[in-house]
């Protein structure tokens, strides 16, 4: 790892947009801290990053576990003293259901992952991002889900997450870090397949293309 190399924490990094973001940042010279629950997916990501000449640290954990997240952030501070990037891709996509029939466990998990964990992540990484000369936090909007039929748990928790991010964005506008909320185009991901089974995936963007497009907006 070279001196001055960006340090990037990417959540949900084992697949989909998270994995694509991790690879794209590594290709740009960042050292990626890849966080996800799926160990196999993280190991495959690490293999791809290393094969391309990049470097990564794997953080297999459930983002809802506050103690594990706090330990990770403390380790980042001890080793690097800062974060230059936070890219938050971790999301819970519960089964679609009418609002009156949302399973209690699906509702609780949606709030836990999509909202509460995001709040803890913001609180724990804000000091690390503030220690960077160019700290940036990147989140993703999913337009059109809030209020849509059968998207009650996902739409409500995602809309709440985006509201929290917009508040942090407004609060840090003059002090940093730079907080971004970008909207990816429809992508051929496992998450979308849960919501649109049987959809023709050929017109959809790839996560890799979207990662490059979205990062280009921040150049």
Per the listing, tokens 């960006």 go with 6
Identify which of 49, 11, 51, 58 has the alpha carbon closest to the alpha carbon of residue 30: 49
Query: CA dist 104 to 91, 99, 107, 108, 200, Å?
Result: 18, 11, 5, 6, 32
Reduce the DSSP state of residue 31 to 3 states and report it.
strand
Active-site annotation holds for 154: yes
DSSP letters, 126-192, are HHHHHTSTT-EEEEE--TT-TT-TTBHHHHHHHHHHHHHHHHHHHHTTTTS-EEEEE-PPPB--HHH
Residue of 154, 157, 204, 211 marked catalytic: 154
**Would you say how long the chain is, in residues?**
219
Output Rg (C-alpha) for the chain, integer angstroms. Answer: 17
Cα angle: 101, vertex 104, 109; to 5 degrees: 120
Q: What share of the chain is helix, strand, coil (3-state, %, to 5)?
A: 50, 15, 35
Which residues are designated catalytic? Answer: 154
């Amino acid at each position: 790892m070279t001196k001055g190399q960006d340090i990037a924490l990417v959540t949900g990094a084992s697949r989909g947009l998270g994995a694509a973001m991790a690879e794209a940042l590594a290709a740009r010279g960042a050292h990626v801290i890849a966080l996800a629950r799926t160990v196999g997916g993280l190991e495959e990501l690490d293999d791809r990053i290393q094969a391309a000449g990049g470097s990564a640290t794997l953080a297999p954990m459930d983002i809802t576990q506050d103690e594990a997240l706090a330990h990770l952030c403390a380790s980042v501070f001890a080793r690097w003293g800062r974060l230059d990037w936070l890219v938050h891709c971790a999301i819970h996509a519960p089964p679609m259901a009418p609002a009156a029939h949302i399973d209690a466990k699906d509702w609780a998990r949606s709030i836990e992952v999509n909202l509460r964990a995001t709040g803890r992540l913001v609180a724990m990484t804000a000091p690390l991002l503030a220690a960077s000369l160019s700290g940036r936090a990147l989140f993703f909007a999913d337009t059109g889900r809030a209020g849509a039929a059968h998207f009650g748990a996902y739409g409500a928790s995602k809309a709440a997450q985006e509201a929290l991010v917009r508040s942090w964005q407004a609060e840090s506008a003059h002090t940093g870090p730079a907080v971004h909320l970008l909207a990816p185009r429809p992508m051929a991901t496992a998450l979308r397949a849960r919501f649109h089974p049987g959809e023709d995936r050929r017109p959809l963007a790839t996560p890799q293309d979207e990662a490059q497009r979205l990062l280009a907006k921040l150049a």
